[in-house]
Structure formats: C-alpha cells, structure tokens
Structure 1
Amino acid sequence: MNGTQIRFQGIVWTFGEREFAALLMDGHSAHGPDALLDVTQSRGLPLTTDIRRVPLALVPGWRIEVTFEDSGHARLSVHWPHVRPLVSHVGVDLPQRWQQLAVTQRAGLLLVGHDLVTDDHYLPERVTRLAESGSLAAGVVAFRSGNRSRPRGRARQAAF
C-alpha cells in the first residue's frame, strides 16, 4: 500500500444494546478510491451489505494493537494476513470508552470504506449507505493492548 494515505478514527459503535470499540479506516491512493477496500477484502476482511449483520466471529489473521505510553498518547497498529502490518505504530487519540470496550472484549469492529472517517453526525447513515452499495468491508478482529489508557479524541491520519 505504498503511496496510500490511510485515515482512521476510533468510535463506539452500538448494535442494539451492545457496544463495540470500532476502528474506521479509509484511504486515498493513486491506485484509485477503493484501493484500501479492495486490498483489505483480498486479505480476508469480508464485504458487508448490512452493517447490522456483521458476524461476531473473529476474522482470522486480523488484529488491532494499541500501546499506551506514559504520556497518555497511543500508538496504533493494524495487523493483517501479510508479512508487514497494514498500519504500524501510528499516533492516535482514542476515546476512553473505546479503549475500555476493546480491552474488556479483547476485540474491535474494523470498518473499511471510502470517505468513512468524518466528524459529521450522519456517520450511521453513511456506514449504512456504504454497506448497501457494496463499498464496506467489516469484521470483528482481535485486540491487544500494551497497557491501560487515558487517551481520548477524534481522527488522525497517516501517510504510508
């Protein structure tokens, strides 16, 4: 994924009465607007057409890893079935509730789609629309944390 800019955002996603630590990812690449979506699907993150029906079984080979530093900053890595991580040790601010859910459940919901990371209030509608149009990869993935957290915040981006 050289030359791809990946953006990500940690949010709390609710299915009925159950909350999940969700990591939203989108990418912009010279290879096309759906390059990140295509490559994540080719590595086993399933396409979903209904966000309410994402299987709760862990997607094999995928893992979100966060290490919290003493300063309160977090370093995020996303591992996938490849020799190198998709994202490696990138600084990120994560909501406190996100971290609590991820540590407790030892899993997170990974959502990958085009123009997914946003600060608008229409995120559930955007995710639903992406899923219904066949433009959303989603799955529950393993989570590992280096230590306890104190961070909170919104979106960050990284260039690779």
Structure 2
Amino acid sequence: MHGTQIRFQGIVWTFGEREFAALLMDRHSAHGPGALPHAARSRGLPLTTDIRRVPLAPVPGWLIEATSKESTHGRQTRLTVHWPRVRPLLSHADVDLPQRWQQLAVTQRACLLLIGRDLVVDERELPQRVTRLAESGSLAAGVVTFRSGSSFRPRTHDRIVGHRRAARERRPVGQ
C-alpha cells in the first residue's frame, strides 16, 4: 500500500444494548477508492453487507495491539494493526482513544474493525455512512483480537484488575 495515507479513529459502537470498541480505518490513495477494503478482504477480513450481522468470532490472523508510555507530552498511546502479512497494516500510530474505548477493548480483548472509504467522518453521519458502504459491498468488517502491550494501562486499569482479583477470590477452591 505504498503511497497510501491511512486514517483511523477509535469510537464506541453499539449493537442493541452491547457496546464494542471499534476502530475505523480508511485511506487516501492513488490506487483507487476501494484499494484498502479490497486488500483487507483479500487478507481475510470479511466483506460486510449488513453491519448488524458481523460475526462475533475473531478473524484469524488479525490483531490490534496498543501500547502506551509516559512522555513529556503526557501519556502517549500507539496502535498497531497486524494482518496476515509480514508487515503490519498500521504500525505504532499515535492515537487519542476515548476512555470507554479503552475499557471495552481491555475487558473484551476484542475490537470491531471497520475498513472502508471515507469512514473517518463526523460521528453524527457515521451510522448512515457505514450502512451505505455495507449495502454497496464496500465495507470490510470483523471482530479482531485486541492485545495490550506491557506498558498499556487505560485510565481504568486499577479498577479492572481489582475487579478480576475480586472475582478470583470468590471462585470456589478446586475450580
């Protein structure tokens, strides 16, 4: 994808009453308007014609990884999107993720990945845009495994770890 500028945005996507951390990706390229979704589909991310029917099983070979570290500008988070190729699709890109996105990604260990044309738009227009792209066969989407790097700590890390610890303490012995 040489000569391609990939744009991305983390949002919280709601299906009924269930929320997911979602990563939207699109691109500006001289390779044609469907180059990135086509490349994603050829690497196993399914074509989606109905956003409400995205399978919840993680897509094999795909992984979103987040790392963060303290810098002179505050806490800096970077995302890498691995796909079934030697090089990542997106590598160590600086991103500002909503707090709820981070909570969902860490607790669910998965993200909804949406790749299409002009997805990174005003969030008020997003549901209609995603629906139109899906219905026209121009959207690749799937649930992707999420992994946080050793230094990634969302703002709610202590609460999440404390919750898991409390759950382990309530578990009966021998289980």
**TM-score, scaled to structure 1:** 0.91
1-side partners of 2:89 and 2:119: how far apart?
17
Q: How far apart are residue 149 of structure 1 and its match?
A: 2.2
2-side partners of 1:119 and 1:129: how far apart?
15
Query: Which residue in the other structure is 1:33 paired with?
Result: 33
Aligned residues: 150
- Is the 8 Å Cα contact of residues 74 and 91 (structure 1) preserved in structure 2? yes
- Asked if 1:148 is matched to 2:153, the reply is yes
2-side partners of 1:124 and 1:62: how far apart?
24
- Asked if 1:79 is matched to 2:82, the reply is yes
Where in structure 1 do 4 or more consecutive aligned residues deviate above 4 Å?
none
Q: Which residue identity is paired with 2:89?
A: L
Q: % of aligned pairs identical?
A: 77
* 1:7-41 Cα deviation digits (max 9, x unpaired): 00000000111000000000111111111011001
2-side partners of 1:33 and 1:27: how far apart?
8
Higher-Rg structure is: 2
- Is the 8 Å Cα contact of residues 45 and 137 (structure 1) preserved in structure 2? yes
**TM-score, scaled to structure 2:** 0.84
- Asked if 1:137 is matched to 2:140, the reply is yes
Q: How far apart are residue 120 of structure 1 and its match?
A: 4.0
- Is the 8 Å Cα contact of residues 6 and 26 (structure 1) preserved in structure 2? yes
1-side partners of 2:69 and 2:154: how far apart?
8
1-side partners of 2:28 and 2:78: how far apart?
21
Query: Which residue in the other structure is 1:24 paired with?
Result: 24
Q: Which residue identity is paired with 2:24?
A: L
Q: How far apart are residue 46 of structure 1 and its match?
A: 0.4
Q: Identify the structure with the greater helix proportion.
A: 2
Of structures 1 and 2, the one with the larger relative CO (CA 8 A, separation 6+) is: 1
Greater CA deviation, 28-37 or 52-61? 28-37
2-side partners of 1:91 and 1:134: how far apart?
30
- Is the 8 Å Cα contact of residues 72 and 149 (structure 1) preserved in structure 2? no
- Is the 8 Å Cα contact of residues 62 and 141 (structure 1) preserved in structure 2? yes
Which of these residues, 108, 116, 125, is aligned with residue 113 of structure 1? 116
In structure 2, the gaps of 5 or more residues are 156-175
- Asked if 1:69 is matched to 2:74, the reply is no
Query: Which residue in the other structure is 2:14 paired with?
Result: 14
Q: Which residue identity is paired with 2:76?
A: H
In structure 1, the gaps of 5 or more residues are 151-160
Query: Which residue in the other structure is 2:173 paired with?
Result: none
DSSP 3-state at the match of 1:60: coil
* 1:70-110 Cα deviation digits (max 9, x unpaired): 23211110000000100000101000000000000000000
